[in-house]
Chains A and B, each alone.
Chain A
Amino acid sequence: MSAVETSQNLTPSQAAKLRRTAWYRQPRFSRLWAMVALGVLLALVTGEQGNTRDIFYSLETTFTGGGLWVCLALTVGVWVLREFAGDGLKGLAEKAKPGTVAPLAAVRGRFQADKRLRWGLIVLALVLALAIPSMVERYWQTVLVDQIAIFVLLAIGLNVVIGWAGLLDLGFFAFFAVGAYSTAFWTGRLPIEPPVVLNPFWVIPIAVVTCLLTGLLLGAPTLRLRGDYLAIVTLGFHEIIYLVAKNADGVTGGPQGARMIPDFSIDFAGISYKWSIDPLPYWYLLVFFIVIVIILFSRLEHSRVGRAWTAIREDEIAAAANGVDTVRFKLMAFAIGASTSGVAGVVFTSKYGYINPEVFPLLQSILVLAYVIFGGMGSIPGVLIGAAALVWLPEALKDYVDPSDRYMYLGALLVIMMIYRPQGIWPSRRRQRELKLAEQGIGDADAMSEPAGGKF
């Protein structure tokens, strides 16, 4: 009551004064402080490493060097652009909109619509994939084989589980370990003797089947769980595989792991070839496997199996009520997804020559998941790009930044990506629609939670 009275007693000029915000209290200035803080932070993280003898060494060098001013200029520049030229920029973006929504989206739209263009691009990509590696340095050839191709295979497999069936798997790398240890076992490099010693090449089908069975074994008791609970179980599964590999000395060789795993060789039906330390032949072999897996999996995506997976992902209760055997299809996704890591495990082990439990830390599972999400869950081209780009990034940064900082940049990229483009680089059409509908409040695009109103 009294407030009303005082306001009535104000003169018009007093009221106007109250209504006016002081210039320094405008929201844009709090944004300026945030940007300045970001600049200081940026200078700190990109600046000198600290050392133990002089604890203020890092701070001193950062705040006295020129790097701080560069970082501040950068962030304040961004602030100036956004606050004072923001409308102009927005106008430009809108002017560009009608014809080409965004360069990437335009390419994607064409790619999906024009069949000839699609095949042309696929053939071009394949030719480039086969031709370029022979022209790059040996170091990059090794990166291509040991990391990029292996992780691409893994990401394609994990895409089936998380992208298509919507099951959050935080322990996918454990299947890779299963494939790797199968190789060590069947080539006779583990403390226990295999029934027959095989060449790694012939271990591939065995490893695929072993991974399928491991997927079934893990899935059967746990796929009744939903979302978050399943994620924790898969996390535990990875830890179990890791600890068994580390501690079951009599079976897995313990912390020493397995050594002297032979290279691939074929000696069959007149064809005789031996892979050795040259990475290129491995690259061709891996490209062959990747192409086969992509062909097989893209057939699945647009079949009843892929549709059933989508149905389960979107609304498990409705799917079951319409006759979809949800447990069977989830198991199928788990097993089929795991099978690619069998192939990857064998090739990696045979190329590398030795394995030990430290090759399979939990971090790798998380990284594969990040690659899939970064590229675009549920889309094969997206997953290929995501895995290749994110594996390449730390390697490329190696020469420019402190090597121990490399993964920090990867982390920053992931954070920025998830804020501004959560659907990934090249999202699948279905996923994109789900996200759009979720924004409007219909449905639920979250792979992890149960569908909206999970109970009746």
Chain B
Amino acid sequence: MTTDVTSESAAVGGPASDDADLVLQTWDVTLRFGGLTSLDHVNLQMRRGEILAVIGPNGAGKTSLFNSLTGAYTPQEGKIVFRPKDGGEKSLLGSKPHIVNRLGLARTFQNIRLFSALTALENVKIAAETRLKAGPVSIMLGLPNARKAERLSDERAHRLLKFVGLEDKLNEIAGSLSYGDQRSLEIARALATDPQVLLLDEPAAGTNPTEKLELEQLIRRINTELGVSVLLIEHDMRLVMSVADRVMVLNFGKKIAEGTPSEVQQHPAVIEAYLGSSAEDAAAVQEVIAEHEHESASDTEDGQ
């Protein structure tokens, strides 16, 4: 675990040329839906143990990238390679989602997808059990290995729910948990599959400021305590800037910038992508800013 932390800190800002250090790498990944190019020659390099954030305006292709990495979509061109801890290279292009998960990439969803009629514990157990071997016959006959598997998954689920802070909500129905708790539960479920890379798709969407802070700490703990590399899609810039080691920016399916958070913030292409380039847009932006300033000024007046 400590080695992971050091390798991560060593990797920050370092050159990305060392292939063995990259846990996830793509070359020219291109994904099209009919005439629409959702991903356009995307090259991604993710170092082992880092927190890499993918940002971009709506429709930039962030979730498409996630879906391509986890096997939900099969890009028409390009290569996706995952390098597990114990060496070797695995191509992920066009693999089935459960195979990708077994290799060590777990994900959460932008619109939470829990098994909402099951309890929190059962949700996590389902994921933990995919790593255990107990066939239907040994379960039906109640053989010792089936019982052992049941106990192991139970222990693991308890541990992970404690890790994300849901230890007192074990037996609550997932669908009735609060929004923030559902997000945490989804992360716990993804962690139960013992991943090397965790892909979080907008984990802060819809959470309140306290939950956002907790989430920030949770992501850090996943990274340092569990030694899991985190690939993060997020719209909340404050969260991205505080938690990410590096940031990659997508716009219209193309990578337009990559670097440390502060580098990316200064990047002209990024500013352009977020604020628009045409004169009309710029004028509109100015208008909005002016309006906002006016409002806040009147707010403060009201306050006094």
- Stretch from A251-259, A297-305, A404-412 that touches the partner: A297-305
Q: Does B245 contact A (CB under 8 A)?
A: no
Question: Number of residues in A with C-beta < 8 Å to the partner?
Answer: 36
Q: Does B241 contact A (CB under 8 A)?
A: no
Binding site for A on B (CB under 8 A): 63, 67, 70, 72-73, 96-98, 101-102, 106-107, 109, 111, 113-118, 122, 125-127, 129-132, 134, 136, 139-142, 146, 149-150, 153, 173, 175, 189-190, 192-193
Chain A 293-326, CB-CB to B under 8 Å as 1, else 0, gives 0001101100111011011001101111111111
> Does the CB pair B117–A304 fall under 8 Å?
no
> Does the CB pair A299–B175 fall under 8 Å?
no
What residues of A have a CB within 8 angstroms of the CB of B190 in the complex? 322
What residues of A have a CB within 8 angstroms of the CB of B150 in the complex? 303-304
Nearest neighbor of A336 in chain B, beta-carbon distance: B136
What residues of B have a CB within 8 angstroms of the CB of A445 in the complex? 117
Residue in A304, A332, A336, A430 whose beta carbon sits within 8 Å of that of B118 in the complex: A430
Q: Take A317-B72, A323-B102, A326-B98 as given contacts and tell me if A304 and B149 are in contact as well, using a CB distance cutoff of 8 Å.
A: yes
> Does the CB pair B111–A453 fall under 8 Å?
yes
Cα–Cα, bound, A152→B269 (Å): 68
Q: Number of residue pairs across A and B with beta carbons under 8 Å?
A: 120
Q: Does A48 contact B (CB under 8 A)?
A: no
Q: Take A296-B140, A307-B118 as given contacts and tell me if A321 and B97 are in contact as well, using a CB distance cutoff of 8 Å.
A: yes
What residues of A have a CB within 8 angstroms of the CB of B193 in the complex? 322-323
Cα–Cα, bound, A315→B70 (Å): 16
What residues of A have a CB within 8 angstroms of the CB of B97 in the complex? 317, 320-321
Residue in A300, A322, A437 whose beta carbon sits within 8 Å of that of B116 in the complex: A437
Name the interface residues of A109-166: CB closer than 8 Å to any CB of B. Answer: none
Nearest neighbor of A455 in chain B, beta-carbon distance: B72
What residues of B have a CB within 8 angstroms of the CB of A321 in the complex? 70, 72, 97-98, 101, 106-107, 109, 113
Q: Take A299-B140, A305-B136, A324-B126 as given contacts and tell me if A434 and B117 are in contact as well, using a CB distance cutoff of 8 Å.
A: yes
What residues of A have a CB within 8 angstroms of the CB of B141 in the complex? 296
Smallest CB separation, A324 vs chain B (Å) = 6
> Does the CB pair A323–B175 fall under 8 Å?
no
Nearest neighbor of B131 in chain A, beta-carbon distance: A323
Cα–Cα, bound, A443→B115 (Å): 8
Q: Take A317-B72, A453-B111 as given contacts and tell me if A322 and B117 are in contact as well, using a CB distance cutoff of 8 Å.
A: no
Q: Take A317-B113, A456-B63 as given contacts and tell me if A433 and B173 are in contact as well, using a CB distance cutoff of 8 Å.
A: yes
> Does the CB pair B98–A303 fall under 8 Å?
no
Q: Take A296-B140, A437-B175 as given contacts and tell me if A304 and B134 are in contact as well, using a CB distance cutoff of 8 Å.
A: yes
> Does the CB pair B175–A304 fall under 8 Å?
no
Nearest neighbor of A309 in chain B, beta-carbon distance: B126
Contacts beyond the supplied A299-B140, A326-B98, A442-B116: 5 A-B pairs with Cβ under 8 Å: A320-B101, A322-B189, A323-B98, A433-B175, A443-B116
What residues of B have a CB within 8 angstroms of the CB of A320 in the complex? 96-98, 101
Cα–Cα, bound, A318→B140 (Å): 26
> Does the CB pair A322–B126 fall under 8 Å?
yes
What residues of A have a CB within 8 angstroms of the CB of B115 in the complex? 310-311, 314-315, 318-319
